[in-house]
């Protein structure tokens, strides 16, 4: 039973519905932001068995939406990214990656922050990693890796066949997932990290993201330890 070096993926769904149910204005992402803060902090301070956390902040499809709410997600992201730059965790032991195929379409202010974070945490000796997936989608990640692999092959004409390691290097997040948590009640993966989800244990919870607590996260980790993972054996 794998007890350490875990990679957790989170699909934080349900904020819109939460806003409706709680009579909060659509686009007021404060509670979602708070939950994100709490969970990230909790994971990296209370769960030493977790090495990597990937949070799907925005999909490739959402980037295209001509939405009032999209802009507000960006301002939330800006706020969060600014916060991340301040916390000591980031300097000392945590590497932060912002990944996505559609990063180019994200507002400049967000891009600047992601660049600053990348620069700041590049030197981190940390064995812990936080991946913030913005303008990200598993399908596009694979298509991008395929195109990159094709270009690579052209530049290496003596190679007969692309090795697995070459292809995987072109993925945005190379490490396979051990756990995926999706809040908000839907039981679909919606294209989250297709290649990496191979033998991940899936947890679908009805709780809407803004209501998701660290206690519920711990219960999921307890559950995970009880599961029997066979990897095909």
**What is the separation of C-alpha 175 from the centre of its chain, rounded to a whole number of angstroms?**
12
User: 38 an active-site residue?
Assistant: no
Q: 96, 118 in Cβ contact below 8 A?
A: yes
- Between the two ends of the chain, the Cα-to-Cα distance in Å is 13
- Which one, 37 or 152, has the nearer CB to other proteins? 152
CB of 3 to other proteins, least distance (A): 18
Q: How far is the CB of 154 from other proteins (least distance, A)?
A: 6
H-type helices in the chain, by residue range? 15-21, 30-46, 60-63, 68-86, 88-92, 108-122, 138-155, 164-169, 214-226
Q: Compare residues 198 and 218 and give the one whose CB is closer to other proteins.
A: 198
Q: Cβ of residue 101: shortest distance to other proteins, in angstroms? A: 12
Please state the closest distance from residue 63 (CB atom) to other proteins, in A.
Answer: 16
Q: Minimum Å distance from CB 187 to other proteins?
A: 5
Which of 9, 34, 20 lies closest to 224 in space, CA to CA? Answer: 9
Q: Which residue, 120 or 175, has its beta carbon nearer to other proteins?
A: 175
What are the residues binding other proteins (CB under 8 A)? Answer: 138-139, 142-143, 145-147, 149-154, 157, 161-162, 164, 167, 185-191, 194-195, 197-204, 227-229, 231-233
Q: Using an 8 Å Cβ cutoff, are 43 and 51 in contact?
A: no
* CB nearer other proteins, residue 37 or residue 201: 201
Q: Which of 63, 200, 195 is nearest to 142 (CA)?
A: 195
CA distances from 5 to 92, 94, 179, 211, 216 (A): 18, 14, 12, 27, 21
28, 62, 97, 144: the active-site residue:
62
Q: Active site residue: 13, 51, 178, 211, which one?
A: 13
Q: Which is nearer to other proteins, 72 or 153 (CB)?
A: 153
Q: Which two tokens stand for residue 178?
A: 């051990």
**Active-site residue flag, 62:** yes
Residues with catalytic annotation?
13, 62
């Amino acid at each position: 039973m794998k007890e350490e070096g875990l990679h957790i993926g989170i699909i934080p769904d349900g904020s819109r519905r939460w806003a409706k149910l709680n009579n909060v204005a659509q686009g007021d992402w404060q509670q979602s932001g708070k939950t994100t803060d709490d969970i990230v902090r909790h994971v990296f301070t209370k769960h030493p068995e977790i090495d990597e956390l990937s949070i799907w902040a925005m999909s490739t499809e959402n980037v295209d939406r001509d939405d009032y709410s999209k802009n507000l997600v960006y301002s939330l992201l800006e706020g969060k990214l600014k916060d991340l730059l301040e916390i000591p965790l980031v300097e000392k032991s945590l590497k932060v990656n912002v990944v996505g195929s559609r990063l180019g379409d994200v507002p400049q202010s967000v891009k600047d922050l992601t660049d600053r974070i990348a620069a700041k945490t590049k030197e981190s000796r940390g064995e812990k990693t936080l991946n913030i997936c913005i303008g990200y989608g598993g399908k596009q990640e694979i298509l991008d890796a395929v195109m990159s692999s094709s270009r690579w092959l052209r530049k290496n004409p003596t190679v007969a066949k692309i090795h697995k390691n070459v292809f995987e290097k072109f993925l945005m997040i190379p490490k396979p997932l051990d756990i995926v948590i999706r809040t908000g009640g839907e039981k679909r993966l919606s294209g989250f990290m297709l290649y990496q989800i191979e033998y991940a244990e899936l947890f679908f919870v009805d709780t809407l993201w803004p209501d998701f607590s660290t206690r519920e996260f711990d219960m999921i980790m307890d559950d995970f330890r009880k599961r029997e993972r066979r990897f095909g054996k």
